[in-house]
Amino acid sequence: MKVYVIGLIQILIWSAFSLVTWLSGSDRFLAKGILLIIFCYVAFLIAFKIGLTRKGSLLVTAISFICFFSFEKVFWAFT
């Protein structure tokens, strides 16, 4: 159940990241990269604080990151 809740929270985090990058459209690539690192770290910390191990937190964060952004690319490809 913890993994499910963490996955939902991380989907919200990645949605917030997408919104922030969309609102800051004129920023350079370096600024967006730094912002991505910060959001990844926050997602990892939330997963770790809720109760997963470091390895589990990293795995759940990576899976939610890959799933969200691959679905986002598919969505924008068909719209």
Q: Quick check: 13 and 42 in contact, CB under 8 A? A: yes
Q: How far apart are CA 52 and CA 2, in angstroms?
A: 8
Q: How far apart are CA 44 and CA 40, in angstroms?
A: 6
Given pLDDT bands bounded at 50, 70 and 90, which one contains residue 1? confident
Q: How far apart are CA 44 and CA 27, in angstroms?
A: 25
Domain positions in the chain are: 2-77
Q: pLDDT digit string (tens) for 59-70? A: 999 999 999 999
Q: pLDDT digit string (tens) for 11-59? A: 999 999 999 999 988 889 999 999 999 999 999 999 999 988 999 999 9
Is the pTM higher than 0.75? The answer reads: yes
